[in-house]
Structure formats: structure tokens, C-alpha cells
Structure 1
Amino acid sequence: MSLIPAAVPPSSPASPADTDANAVPLARFRERLVQAVRQDQCQKLVLVNYQGGDAQLGPDLQRIMVRPVELKGQLHLSFLLRYPTKDITKNLPFNAGLDTLMAWLKGTTFRNAHLHTPTEEVQLALSKKGKASLRVGKPSNAEAAQARAEAAAAGRPGSAAVVSAPLDAATSGHNRDKHRFLELSRPFLHELGVTDANGQLIPAMSRKWKQINKFVEVFAAALARSPLAEQQEIHVVDFGSGKGYLTFAIHDWLRHNMGRDARVTGVELRDELVQLCQRVINKLKLDGMDYEQGDVRQYHPAALNVMIALHACDVATDYAIHLGIRAGAEIIMCSPCCHKQIRPQLLSPHPLRPILQHGIHLGQEAEMLTDGLRALLLDAAGYDTQVFEFVSLEHTNKNKMILAVKRAKARSPDEVINQIRDIKAFYGIHEQCLESLLKADGLLPA
């Protein structure tokens, strides 16, 4: 079913009263756009070659990117206004957005408009004398590949997860069509040292760039299947956020690519990193983002929908997961680091004793059991949980991700609790931090 309100009429040729020679190409462009949105085929619309004549837009606007989004069950057009040092997002109901868009084109505020669908690229061009022409062609191979990646990532037609992403300079020939969720031109990437002054990827940061995109990809998939899928306001807290690569990336993707009212807080113990990231926030004038000095064991967020804790050492991961569960977070993302608590408790039961006599195997077993129990405890607390490789070992040794998405419907935890009990008994585990915290709060039966 189309999301376009019934009040939006199909385009028609210019009326007799409209003698403007541009009326026909403008009407045809409008018709193509409405049809693309109605059929869930509108990937992106880009307005370029700004003429600087609009006082509200200002003189230094670079381009506007437009895409359809659904907000509170109603279709809107989301306008991303790109300036040299900032981006501004405006969401308008579809009718009002369409009128605004066509007024810009009719008034020659922009000389070029490019509409991209999976099957064609529609270009509206206005000459220096103001004469409009329309050209329809096939999308480039790169555009087509990007469209397929975006559709797969969004999980449904017409999703708002459509992003225009350039290829990074370090990409080899056979990877040239890889989808990126963020653009290298994003200002925060330069401020954090990922790109140079020309927006090009710094070669030494290529691994970090891949990690950033993978993280956003994982989060995008989790968001699409979570209770937050259609929620406009989203509160994210990132514990141990460090220099903020992923913290800024989530904020940027939610705000500028998804059009959500994201409130993102980075929580970090090291004051110098807090000050660094806050300076970037202030410089770029980022709305809905903040950095605070704090520890997950004492931090109490006012609101929390998404809890992130990457590389929290040993039981700090347990405290982070506990906080997320206690706060009712819809999404919990952890990448554990160190697994010290369980290892000294482990027995080497027969017939595993000969294998576990080697220290490296004992350490791997402790890691598997610690994260396996965390996943089971999240399951018992009402989450669908996955444990998987976050990024390949060539990029980082800390490559495991625990991803938990809150279930829409509760179910009995009894079976999972019995499985936890049996595993603990088999290996001689008498205490696991997350389980103790949940029981102390009454979130699990004692």
C-alpha cells in the first residue's frame, strides 16, 4: 500500500493558464518523483548547483539531499541541507515538501536535480537562461550496487536507511561497489582524524573506517527489527566511548541519514578524551550529542533506548549489560574485553581435562563460557540475543559482538534459567557478575 496521502494528485501537463515553457519538464519530473515514492523506488534525490538567491537557505549552501521517510505513520520528505561546516535536517509532510521542492526548481534556486531509482536516473537541468530539460537514463553500476546493498540493509522496500556514500580511496578494484553507511565527507570524520582536509581517507585509518561502517551496519539491522523501528526520538548511551569514532557515527547516521531525533551521550572515564570530543561537538554545533565523564557502575541515565559498551574490561561489560536491562533498553550492543572472573573458578571435567591442561585453551573456554552465559542471561531477561564476529581478526583482536534486541512479547525464562544452572554446575562456576546483579535487583529469580 502506498504511503502517499490521497490528497497528493498525480502530476499532469501544464494547465492552459500556465504558459511557462518549463512547465512540461517540471511536471514530468514531479510525476517521476511521485511515482517513485508511490512504488517505494525513490532511493535519493539530490539538488545541486545552488544559485544562492534564497535568503532562508543562505549563501553558502552546497547541496540538498531529499528522501522519503515515515514519521508517526505519515509520509514526509526529509531534506538534508549540506553546508561547509554543518548539516541541517528538515522534515516536511509530503505535500508541503513536494511544494517546497518544486518551488525551488521552478524558481531556478537550483540548476540541477538528480532522482535515483533502482532502474533509472532522472536528471532535471536548467540552463543559464533558465530553460529546463529532462533526461532519463540508466543508473551506473555503482549506483545499482549501492541500491541493492541499501535495500538488503533496510530489510524492506522504501526504508529510510538509504545513504549516498562515496567510495573510499583505499578500496581495491574488486571492492569498488561496497556499500558504506556514512560519507567520507562527513565533518566529524575530519575532526577525529579519519579524513584529511579534502575529505579523503587517511590510509592509516582504513581499518577504523571499515570498523565504523560495520558497526553502523550492525546497528541499522538491529534498529529495523527492534521496537524502535518507527520511533522518532532515540536515546543512546555509549559507555567507554573513548575518542568517539563510533559514538559520532551513530549520532550522524541517526540524525542525518535516518532523520531521527537522536540524543547520543558518550560516557568516558578519561577526562582528556571527554574534553576532546566535547570540543568537536561544540565546533560542529551538533544538536543532541554530549560527552560526560563517568563510570558505568555509577552512571544513571535519564533515558536510555540503546546501550553500547565496546571493549569494557572484564566485569565492566556485566555492569553495562545490567544497566541496559534495568533501564529497559530496546537494543544492547557489547564487545567484551578480558574474561577474568570465571577462569579461576573453572573445573576441568572429564573428558575435557587433557585438552584444558593448555593455558590458551583454558582462556578460550573462559571467554566462550563468560559470553555464552551473558547471552543466556539476556535471553532470560527478555531479549533475542546473538553472539558473532564483529569485524574480522585482521582489523582487531577484540572482535566479538553481543547484540541483544528486546522482544515484543515476553516469554517464560524457566528453560533458559535451567540451562544456565546446568552449565554452571558442569564447570564448577559459583558466581557470574551479571547474574548476581540481575538477581540482586529482582530481575531474575534468586
Structure 2
Amino acid sequence: MSLDEANAAPLSRFADLLTQALAQGRCDKLVLANYQGDDAQLGPDLQRVLARPVQLKGAPHLSLVLRYPTKDITRNLPLANGIQQVMAWAQARSFRNAHLHTPTEEVQLAFSKKGKASVRVGKPSNAEAAQARAEAAAAGRPGSAAVVSAPVDTTSAGHNRDKHRFLELSRPFLHELGVTDANGQLIPAMSRKWKQINKFVEVFAAALARSPLADQQEIHVVDFGSGKGYLTFAIHDWLRHSMGRDARVTGVELRDELVQLCQRVIGKLKLDGMDYEQGDVRDYHPAALNVMIALHACDVATDYAIHLGIRAGAEIIMCSPCCHKQIRPQLLSPHPLRPILQHGIHLGQEAEMLTDGLRALLLDAAGYDTQVFEFISLEHTNKNKMILAVKRAKAKSPDEVINQIRDIKAFYGIHEQCLESLLKADGLLPA
């Protein structure tokens, strides 16, 4: 019996298990490892292939990420074509191992040194299973764990949850930005930043799954005040290389030295669909915008960012406000709160709560489902509040919310709020 004849049965079994897992929505990921370097089309430098099921324009596809030392190439194929491609590589023995991960088992296709194929089915480790479920939930795949409709409470997350990551430390941009060392190991001083990056992607993934963008292939993201670009690069990497989306991500930053730094990283890594520009949210006009991000925009800069997102029709708006100077000098201390608000710290906290509460209500009135929550615990950053708004599929009357805004302003003596003024000037809210 020839080697090809001997391998026919295990290859057929693996193909059946892969096809069944994909059809039943149980495929969390597929990893093709130990590349043999003998495929002329793939080239000699390929490290491995990562495959995940995705929905593109309402149709199931297999997203194949070809990982090279300095770049990733994503190919999105219709499901049948994707399975055919994977099995063609398997039959050619281009990879020594293939690992199919599902919530309940791990299927391994392995080739011996002599090229003989074998299939082994076992149970995944608890950590692998939990990570696979988190990734499946974020992707919103049929048959996977339900996608959370609200952000995860970071203060009550269990011990194991700290180990779940939406990105891998091996990603090249992390080394270029100083998060990892030359060996791809986390630099201890960057551990808090690493946790923040992953939490941000987790929140974004849940919002994306329940937004009108869930099945949209092309996504335009603009990140205002993007700084050194930790989160900007992370969103680009997750969208393009983990999810297989045609993402266009632009970082907008005032400081020229940071713009130049990030442009150098983009050029060095040859990142498609990413750009860094110098600009200010008050006068920046993006050509297209689906996701508007503004973290730590000071005082009314947050209002201008939200206004830009609403005006551009962004499906997702993510803000982490910083400073709340406009409202505080306007505040009255109404009875019976006067004895409490005589303390400056309490007055500042009240101003912060009112400012962000009014922003959330104004987003609600503009057609968004809005949440205000703790983004990441205070041990990691003192700027930890997130305003997350996802555009509604169906419009509803804003009258009730507008009346609530009016009553709150009257109670506290607030005569002007920046976002409200901007929306009224544009006719997006009744004057």
C-alpha cells in the first residue's frame, strides 16, 4: 500500500470532523503548524496558518491568516473553498500538524517523519477552552457562546480570566511599540498597558457583534488623540488579522513626534489599511467613518468627538472622557444636596457624573444605545470610565429623553452643555 493510500482514511476523517465542526458552529479555530517550506506559492518563510469561521455579507467564510515573520496575509474564502484549501495543504503534507479547536475537543492531524498521517481526538485544557469560547463569543458565530450585550465587569472577573487575551504577544506591532522584547516576551513595566489593550479589544468586539457592522466586511475606524497608538494598532491588528475584516484604521494625533513614530512603525511592518495623521478633532473631516474612538480627550474635546461621530453616522462611538471643566462652574447646589456639595471633591465628582450622564442621554436622543461603565479597574489607570454607544437598527422618538435632559439641567442650573449646543446647531436635536 502506498503512503497516499495509507493516508486516505485519516485525511478523510479529519476533513469530516472539520466540515462538521464548521457546519454546526463549533469550530473555534484551526491552526496549521510546522510548515515544511515546500509550497512555491506560500514561500519559504511562512510560519503557520490560522483559520477561523467568519460571516461576510451574510455568508459563511473561512478566514485564513498566513503568518510570516514581518507580516500577515489574510485570505477570506467561501466555506467550501476554505475547507478545500486546507485539505489540499494537508494532502500535500505542507504542514506537519493541524489542530482543530472546538469548545469540547481538540482534533489533531499529525504527520510522522516518514509522512504517515494520524488523527487524534482529545479534550482541550480549561484555559484553551475558555479562550476559544471568549473568541467565539466576540466573533458572534452561530452555535458559539452568546455575545454579551453589555461590557464585562472587570472588577469581578475571575482569576483565570486575566489570562484570556484577544491578541497574541507575538504580534510584531507590540515589539515596535515597546510592549514586548526582541523575544516576544512581555516587558514587566508594560503589563498594565497590555491588560488595558486586551480589555479595550474585548469591549470593542462585543460592541461590534451587536452593531449594524456585525456582518460588514469593510470598516472605517478613526481614533482621535491616539497618542503612541497602542490601542489604534491593536484594533487594526484584531480586525484585519484575527477577524479577517477589510479594516481601514486612522490614528489622529496633535503631537508631531508621535505621528512620525507611528508612521515609521506602519512603514516598517508594511501594514495595509492603516494610517496616522496630524490633526484635531475640532476640524478633522474623515472621508468615511464607521467607528469613532476618542480616549482621554480633555474636557469639551470629548463633546466634539462625539458630535463628529454622530454627524458622520458612526455605528459605534467609544469615548473615555478626561476632565470635566465646563459643567462645574455652572452648578447650583440644590436643597437638600447643599451640605454634601460644599466639599470640593464631591462637587467635582458631581460635575463628572452630570457631564457624562448628559452625554449618554444626548447619544440616546441621537439614536444610540448607550452605556457608561468602568473600562478597566482603578489599579491600572485612574482614567477608567468608558462611554460606549452603538447605533440602533430602528429609530425611536427622542422626546422622553430630551425632557429628561431639560429637567436635569433645570435642577442643577446648567445653562449650556457643549455636545447639546453642537447637535442643536446642526439641527440634529430640536433647538
1:201 is aligned to 2:186: yes
Task: Output the CA distance in 1 between the equivalents of 2:55 and 2:322.
Answer: 38
Task: Output the CA distance in 2 between the equivalents of 1:275 and 1:21.
Answer: 57
Q: CA deviation at 1:30?
A: 0.3
| AA in 2 matched with 1:254 | L
1:344-359 matches, within 5 Å, as 344-359=329-344
Alignment size in residue pairs: 421
1:30 is aligned to 2:30: no
What is the aligned counterpart of 2:43 among 37, 53, 58? 58
| AA in 2 matched with 1:283 | K
1:137 is aligned to 2:101: no
1:225 is aligned to 2:217: no
| Cα pair distance change 1:269/1:161, threshold 3 Å | farther
Correspondence for 1:331: 316
Task: Output the CA distance in 1 between the equivalents of 2:387 and 2:253.
Answer: 20
**Identity, % of aligned positions:** 89
Correspondence for 2:366: 381
3-state SS of 2:393 partner: coil
1:254 is aligned to 2:239: yes
CA deviation string 1:203-248 (max 9, x = no partner): 1000001100110011011101110010000000000000000000
3-state SS of 2:358 partner: helix
Q: CA deviation at 1:20?
A: 1.8
Task: Output the CA distance in 2 between the equivalents of 1:88 and 1:148.
Answer: 25
Q: Is the 8 A contact 1:86 1:284 kept in 2?
A: yes
| Cα pair distance change 1:112/1:160, threshold 3 Å | farther
Q: CA deviation at 1:141?
A: 2.1
What is the aligned counterpart of 2:5 among 8, 11, 20? 20
CA deviation string 1:364-411 (max 9, x = no partner): 010000001000100100001000001111111111000000001111
Q: Is the 8 A contact 1:160 1:257 kept in 2?
A: no
Q: CA deviation at 1:108?
A: 1.2
1:189 is aligned to 2:174: yes
Q: CA deviation at 1:151?
A: 4.1
Correspondence for 2:271: 286
| Cα pair distance change 1:203/1:160, threshold 3 Å | same
Task: Output the CA distance in 1 between the equivalents of 2:362 and 2:48.
Answer: 48
Correspondence for 2:201: 216
Task: Output the CA distance in 1 between the equivalents of 2:61 and 2:337.
Answer: 60
Residue segments in structure 2 that go unaligned for 5+ positions in a row: 148-157
Task: Output the CA distance in 2 between the equivalents of 1:379 and 1:416.
Answer: 7
Task: Output the CA distance in 2 between the equivalents of 1:258 and 1:160.
Answer: 17
Q: Is the 8 A contact 1:307 1:324 kept in 2?
A: yes
CA deviation string 1:258-303 (max 9, x = no partner): 1100000000000000000000001000000000000000000000
What is the aligned counterpart of 2:399 among 414, 422, 425? 414
Q: Is the 8 A contact 1:69 1:159 kept in 2?
A: no
1:435 is aligned to 2:404: no
CA deviation string 1:41-81 (max 9, x = no partner): 11111111111111110101110111221211222211111
Q: CA deviation at 1:18?
A: 11
1:244 is aligned to 2:229: yes
1:356-371 matches, within 5 Å, as 356-371=341-356
Task: Output the CA distance in 1 between the equivalents of 2:103 and 2:111.
Answer: 24
| AA in 2 matched with 1:234 | I
Task: Output the CA distance in 2 between the equivalents of 1:30 and 1:98.
Answer: 8
Q: CA deviation at 1:153?
A: 3.9
Task: Output the CA distance in 2 between the equivalents of 1:41 and 1:176.
Answer: 21
Task: Output the CA distance in 2 between the equivalents of 1:100 and 1:40.
Answer: 19
1:157 is aligned to 2:142: yes
CA deviation string 1:126-181 (max 9, x = no partner): 1222111111111122212223333444455356999xxxxxxxxxx943773211
3-state SS of 1:301 partner: coil
1:114 is aligned to 2:99: yes
Correspondence for 1:5: none
Q: Is the 8 A contact 1:160 1:258 kept in 2?
A: no
Correspondence for 1:168: none
Correspondence for 1:165: none
Correspondence for 2:152: none
Task: Output the CA distance in 2 between the equivalents of 1:255 and 1:217.
Answer: 15
Q: Is the 8 A contact 1:345 1:428 kept in 2?
A: yes
What is the aligned counterpart of 1:39 among 16, 24, 44? 24
Correspondence for 1:423: 408
CA deviation string 1:403-435 (max 9, x = no partner): 000001111111111111111111111110000
Q: Is the 8 A contact 2:137 2:146 kept in 1?
A: no
Q: Is the 8 A contact 1:67 1:160 kept in 2?
A: no
1:268 is aligned to 2:246: no
Q: Is the 8 A contact 1:114 1:121 kept in 2?
A: yes
Task: Output the CA distance in 1 between the equivalents of 2:145 and 2:38.
Answer: 30
Correspondence for 1:308: 293
Q: Is the 8 A contact 2:54 2:141 kept in 1?
A: no
Q: Is the 8 A contact 1:146 1:177 kept in 2?
A: no
Q: CA deviation at 1:339?
A: 0.3
What is the aligned counterpart of 1:402 among 380, 387, 392? 387
Q: Is the 8 A contact 1:71 1:230 kept in 2?
A: yes
| AA in 2 matched with 1:375 | A
1:61-80 matches, within 5 Å, as 61-80=46-65
Q: Is the 8 A contact 2:423 2:429 kept in 1?
A: yes
RMSD (CA atoms)? 1.9
| AA in 2 matched with 1:206 | S
> Which of 1 and 2 has higher RCO (CA within 8 Å, sep 6+)?
2
Residue segments in structure 1 that go unaligned for 5+ positions in a row: 1-15, 163-172
Task: Output the CA distance in 2 between the equivalents of 1:41 and 1:376.
Answer: 39
What is the aligned counterpart of 1:48 among 33, 36, 61? 33
Correspondence for 1:392: 377
